[in-house]
Chains A and B, each alone.
Chain A
Amino acid sequence: MELPSPDTHVIDRKQRIVQLLRMVVPHEAIVDNERQTLAYECDALTARRCPPLAVALPSTTEEVSKLLEICHRERVPVVPRGAGTSLSGGALPTSDSVVICTARLNEILEIDCDSRFVRVQSGITNVSVTQAVENDGFFYAPDPSSQLACTIAGNVAMNSGGAHCLKYGVTTNNLLGVRMVLMDGEIVDIGGESLDAPGLDLLGLVCGSEGQLGIVTEAVLRILPKPEGARPTLIGFDSAEVAGKCVADIIGAGVLPVAIEFMDKTCNRVSEEFSGAGYPDVEALLIVEVEGSPEEIEYQQGLITQVAWRHNPVEVRESASEEESLKIWAGRKAAFGAMGSVGDYICLDGTIPVSKLSVALRGIEELSKTYKLKVANVFHAGDGNLHPMIIFDTNNAAEMKRSEELGAEILKLCVRNGGCLSGEHGVGIEKRELMTTQFTEDDLEMQMRIKDVFDERWLLNSAKVFPLELSQARRMQ
């Protein structure tokens, strides 16, 4: 997870670069003193830190364009940043980079309920999109767990998902258009307000490109009518393997819940202690949520419990009220925070076919023993998106190294079982060097050629996604 050595030619010119940047945005919109740039030294992958050369806080698309034009001309690397909640180091700066932060682009520009879309500036938080339309009976579906803080810019860059994506899809399925600034400063509109755009699906390419193709300053998002209601069912099992089979059977039975969440014993106990949600002490816990009117919910819950009872559950608890629903979700929602009370942890997001859940869980358990590190599992089971949390002590360098190695082994296990390295968090710097386990060099060469088209000088977030050795020639040009 190393960062490439910085371009000293850029660092030496810091004064001049900052001066140039200040010519196109207000003085205070460029942060260059070392005490302040420290605030941008990392994202939510806190184990890696590096303060940038400077930070720019533009307020308009035109400002972003002018800033990028200067960086392009001066060959200064740029790292785009939303709220800095990336778990894969997607917003981690290099010391020779200017961080361009979208936080001040925070306006809602248009709400069109008849055509069911909103146009927003990209620095607004995910949750504020739903807040802006909920009085009209709508919501914005992707709901990453950082939704109170994370921005639409970051969501588009990472193609963020969330707990409800089993039914509603991820960002790419809910995005109609973007306004984006290319590295040379040109502003382009990709997609728009209609269901599709002519020509190649550049929008589908940009979404999830980890800020390497351009900086998105506006987005047109699809909004959906709010469902009438939602209710979770909690199911406890005395075996993780059986819980995994139950998930596949629920899906095979023709019900499509909005969410199927899984927690293993470790995670379950810690979350219970932290939240007092009243969870049974079991090996594996499923929370299955369905939506609709009361009678529709009752019907779907009926089908789900029918499947569940075939697998000898220890407990089945159907929520019958808002209060019970909140209680069932309380522990799951607290899970990530609660795990923090046990120790430091790395949270992975490898994904596997649902049919391989039990195989993967067994594999993770064996690896956990081999590496002598505790792993807790909580994940979106419906789509096979694992979230193994490797618990370690940051102050113990050997343990930290071991935990990163274990993480790599777990991700390789996912790929071996037909899955992928990242279902939600993106590659960033975290999984960059593992890309060759999932892709051939030809596959990666094709992806890098795509970057060549958008950013031929490889200035934009270039130390991410691709193994450093493979991207070296392009970055060093």
Chain B
Amino acid sequence: MIPESEQDLARIVASASGPFRIQGGGTRPVGNPCHGQPLVMAGLSGVREYEPGALTIVVGAGTPMAEVNSLLREHGQFLPFEPMDCCRLLGTDGTSTVGGVVATNSSGPRRVLVGACRDFVIGMKFVDGEGKTIKAGGRVMKNVTGYDVSKLLVGSYGTLGVITEVCFKVLPLPGETAALLVNGLSDRQAVRAMTAALNSPFEVAGAAHLPSGIDGHPVTMIRIEGSGVSVDYRVKLLKRLLSSFGDVIVERDSERTQAGWKYVRDVEKFGTDSGGDVWRISTPSGDAVELVERARECGPVEVVYDCGGAVLWIKSGSSLNLRSRLEPLRGHATLVRASDEAKRRFGVFHPQAARVEQLSNALRRQFDPRQLFNRGIAQHGNGVAGRE
């Protein structure tokens, strides 16, 4: 089905009986495998409203991210949460859309400073499981009127409703970017260096460590953004701060820094050509090194540290339940890339406490009583049913 408008979509849903698989750009086959009639969102595309002076933009869920990004760039603004392009990691092609990014709360390296996708969604519209169009939030930056229902939809993997329109808060594009690079650090040293940078007042907008970088050697990257004056000053002081860890190389070329952060954001290191399962771990950065050590005990793994160690991408051999090997884990592990069989066996998502799971399922029943949308996609691990 390809609804042409929100009303059209609402009609389709109201009269439907079978399950739907909501489809944006098709670049992000994440979550548990799910089946259903494709509900193609391409018809709900386009910028509905954009006020640069108010730092807000309203766009249809089917709008390609590239379209939104280029319009914002023309006005010197951007969506700061840096959603990843999954094509390389998951072996897909096409262009990702607003709806897919929002439904998966996709957020990249800059989240360590500015927050995640969910922090930039200030309102939305969606069609619920009964075919009603619901408005959540609004289009102003500060809004505590009623429950923050948008937050529930962001990262819901489409299980609560079909997002039709999203209002984002945007920010001014930084004038300049610099990357500070330190080569050859051990994981432990690297996390210490990233922590030192993140705990400085210099508003670090990215902190990543690749134990094996593009050239196969360890590299630790710190990103600074802002006006030229600010970047000059901060680079000078950070360079001094980081020099106790090793020689610091400063990269000011915007294309090269962009390529470096894209490599981290899209986890290009683990491109499909390299095989293996890919896990994403979210944890307090202070626990990162110990978790990686535990993962390494299970066999050969490769790691990318993002967000100072608060996000870990780990590639392991197939058919290894890395999640169970990492327990006790403060945080959670998501199986981002694996065979359908492995996804079923280990569960894509981390198991939740029974009552939290029960509350979530009850919410899903309130929003989508007939379980029409993306049935089973968000089911949690260890045999705990996401939807009965």
Contact B233 A293, beta carbon cutoff 8 Å: yes
Query: How far is A354 from B142 in the complex, measured between Cα atoms in Å?
Result: 11
Residue total for A at the interface (Cβ-Cβ under 8 A): 92
Cβ contacts under 8 Å, A158 to chain B: 144
Cβ contacts under 8 Å, A253 to chain B: 172
Contacting chain A: which of B247-255, B314-322, B345-353? B345-353
Contact B195 A114, beta carbon cutoff 8 Å: yes
Contacting chain A: which of B47-55, B88-96, B336-344? B47-55
Contact B330 A188, beta carbon cutoff 8 Å: no
* Chain A min CB distance to B58 (Å): 10
Q: B283 near A: Cβ within 8 Å?
A: yes
Contact partner of A450 (CB less than 8 A), chosen from B54, B149, B355, is B149
Cβ contacts under 8 Å, B195 to chain A: 114
A-B contact count (CB 8 A): 249
Known: A172-B151, A195-B111, A355-B51. A159 touches B144 (CB 8 A): yes
Q: B257 near A: Cβ within 8 Å?
A: no
Q: A29 near B: Cβ within 8 Å?
A: no
Contact partner of A418 (CB less than 8 A), chosen from B132, B139, B198, B353, is B139
Q: A63 near B: Cβ within 8 Å?
A: no
Query: How far is A251 from B169 in the complex, measured between Cα atoms in Å?
Result: 13
**Which A166-216 residues sit within 8 Å CB-CB of chain B?**
166, 169-170, 172-173, 182, 186, 188-190, 192-205, 207-209
Contact A427 B146, beta carbon cutoff 8 Å: yes
Contact B152 A205, beta carbon cutoff 8 Å: yes
* Chain A min CB distance to B315 (Å): 20
Contact A296 B331, beta carbon cutoff 8 Å: no
> Can you name the residue of chain A whose Cβ is closest to the Cβ of B142?
A423
The contact string, 1 if C-beta is below 8 Å from chain B, for chain A 379-397, is 0100111000000000000
Q: A340 near B: Cβ within 8 Å?
A: no
Contact partner of A447 (CB less than 8 A), chosen from B149, B155, B359, is B149
Cβ contacts under 8 Å, A351 to chain B: 140-143
* Chain B min CB distance to A460 (Å): 13
Chain B interface mostly: mixed
> Can you name the residue of chain B whose Cβ is closest to the Cβ of A425?
B144
Binding site for A on B (CB under 8 A): 51-56, 76, 105, 111-112, 115-116, 118-119, 128, 132-136, 138-149, 151-152, 154-156, 160, 171-173, 175, 195, 198-201, 226-227, 229-230, 233, 282-287, 307, 310-311, 330-332, 334, 349-350, 352-353, 355-357, 359-360, 362-364, 366-367, 378, 380
Known: A195-B111, A195-B307. 11 other contacts (CB 8 A): A169-B119, A201-B105, A203-B151, A207-B148, A254-B173, A383-B142, A384-B54, A438-B145, A439-B135, A442-B134, A450-B363
Task: Show 20 residue pairs from A and B whose CB-CB distance is below 8 angstroms, ordered by the A residue.
Answer: A115-B310, A172-B151, A190-B356, A196-B332, A199-B356, A200-B160, A202-B152, A204-B118, A204-B154, A254-B172, A293-B233, A296-B229, A351-B142, A354-B54, A355-B51, A355-B54, A423-B140, A446-B367, A447-B147, A452-B366
Binding site for B on A (CB under 8 A): 112-117, 137-138, 158-159, 161, 165-166, 169-170, 172-173, 182, 186, 188-190, 192-205, 207-209, 225-228, 248-249, 251-256, 292-293, 295-296, 299-300, 351-355, 380, 383-385, 418-427, 431, 435, 438-440, 442-444, 446-447, 449-450, 452-454, 465
